[in-house]
Amino acid sequence: MPWSATIAGSLALVVAIMDHLNAIWALTAAICLLFSSFVWGYSVRALHETIDWPPLSNWRRQEYAAVWNSLADSMNDAAMAATGETSESGLRSSAMETVRNLLELAAISARDEVLEIGCGVGRIGKEIAPLCRSWAGADISANMLGHASARLKNLENTRLIHLTSVSLSDFEENSFDVVYATNMLAHLDEMDRWWYVQEAFRVLRPGGRIFIDNMDMESEAGWSMFSKDAIRYHDVQRPPYMPTISTAAEFSAYAKRAGFVDTRAHHRSPLVIVTATKPETAKA
Ligand SMILES: C[S@@+](CC[C@H](N)C(=O)[O-])C[C@H]1O[C@@H](n2cnc3c(N)ncnc32)[C@H](O)[C@@H]1O
């Protein structure tokens, strides 16, 4: 195991230095340490880059439930599909940046009733629920929700809702203060993105905020992903869950056309985040 060799190398180097052993010992320990940490880093990268995603070519993108249920058979698969992390600590630390963005840009506070569309295993919900009045997670995949339910069982202000179509018809109009979708709209086609933004407008209270994000075509990282995928999937059937990127103009258009005001685009490479507010005077 490269990680255990790295730890052994570090210990050997510390002992060699502290015990004033001769320079040959210290040099040997340092070389071992350098080599094992290189192998460790390389193997981690290699493992990340060769995840064997299933092609799922029997389904179309819009068969969202079938696609995402088959990616979420086990908790490990679900977590990997949701965010590329499988350990609980990896899931929790991967949520932190989104949580910071939500607190800053959607100003989530202890008074707010919050809805996440496409909540997956509750990666973000687990961190946001303790900071707001209530958190609801909606998802089209029953398997994802099953795993989320196990992760969130100790958080009493959370609930999970199984969506059976691209709609928030399970929710009354004017029932949330914040609606967000993170790491999710990338998997939907544009018209379904637009549907959810309109639905978010309906279920938000006047003065409520929407927060949506995706990889940003205008960032270097977003463009790199897009252009590499264009080569990789040229003339090859694209998997139905393959993420597609967005621009600030696309998301801002949905928000404005749905009736939101104070629409703002935040470029936080590799993401573009759009936030907007339902006017105080709006009907649902
Ligand atoms: C990449 S995961 C992200 C999960 C979560 N937002 C996170 O960041 O950890 C995408 C999620 O969107 C859900 N999803 C896919 N299509 C959907 C749709 N049409 N409506 C609602 N949820 C959907 C999937 O089931 C999956 O849980």
149-172 pLDDT per residue, tens:
999 999 999 999 999 999 999 999
Q: Is 186 in the pocket of ligand 1 (CB under 6 A)?
A: no
67, 139 in Cβ contact below 8 A? no
Q: Is 188 in the pocket of ligand 1 (CB under 6 A)?
A: yes
Distances (CA, A) of 225 to 41, 54, 68, 234: 22, 19, 22, 14
Distance 139 CA to ligand 1 centre (A): 6
Show the tokens assigned to 151: 């992760």
Most informative mutation of 86, 140, 245 for ligand 1 (most atoms within 8 A of CB): 140
Distance 184 CA to ligand 1 centre (A): 5
| Sheet containing 204-215: order of strands | 158-162, 134-139, 113-117, 176-181, 204-215, 271-277, 261-268
Q: What is the pLDDT of residues 75-125, one digit of tens each?
A: 999 999 988 999 999 999 999 999 999 999 999 999 999 999 999 999 999
Predicted TM-score (pTM) of this structure: 0.84
Q: Give the pLDDT mean for 224-242.
A: 92
Q: How large a percentage of the chain has pLDDT more than 90? A: 76
Closest residue by CA, ligand 1 atom 26:
120
pLDDT of amino acid 49: 46
Q: What is the 3-state secondary structure (H, E, C) of 39-72?
A: HHHHHHHHHHHCCCCCCCCCCCCCCHHHHHHHCC
Q: Is 240 in the pocket of ligand 1 (CB under 6 A)?
A: no
Most informative mutation of 170, 171, 187, 245 for ligand 1 (most atoms within 8 A of CB): 187
Position 38 pLDDT exceeds 60: no
Position 132 pLDDT exceeds 60: yes
Most informative mutation of 60, 151, 184 for ligand 1 (most atoms within 8 A of CB): 184
Position 41 pLDDT exceeds 90: no
pLDDT of amino acid 156: 97
Q: Give the pLDDT mean for 61-77.
A: 95
Q: Is residue 130 reached through a cis peptide bond, with omega within 30 degrees of 0 on the bond before it?
A: no
Which has the closest alpha carbon to 193: 171, 210, 219, 212?
212
Report the C-alpha gap between 233 and 83 in whole angstroms: 21
79, 107 in Cβ contact below 8 A? no
Half-sphere exposure of 161 (CA within 13 A, CB side): 18
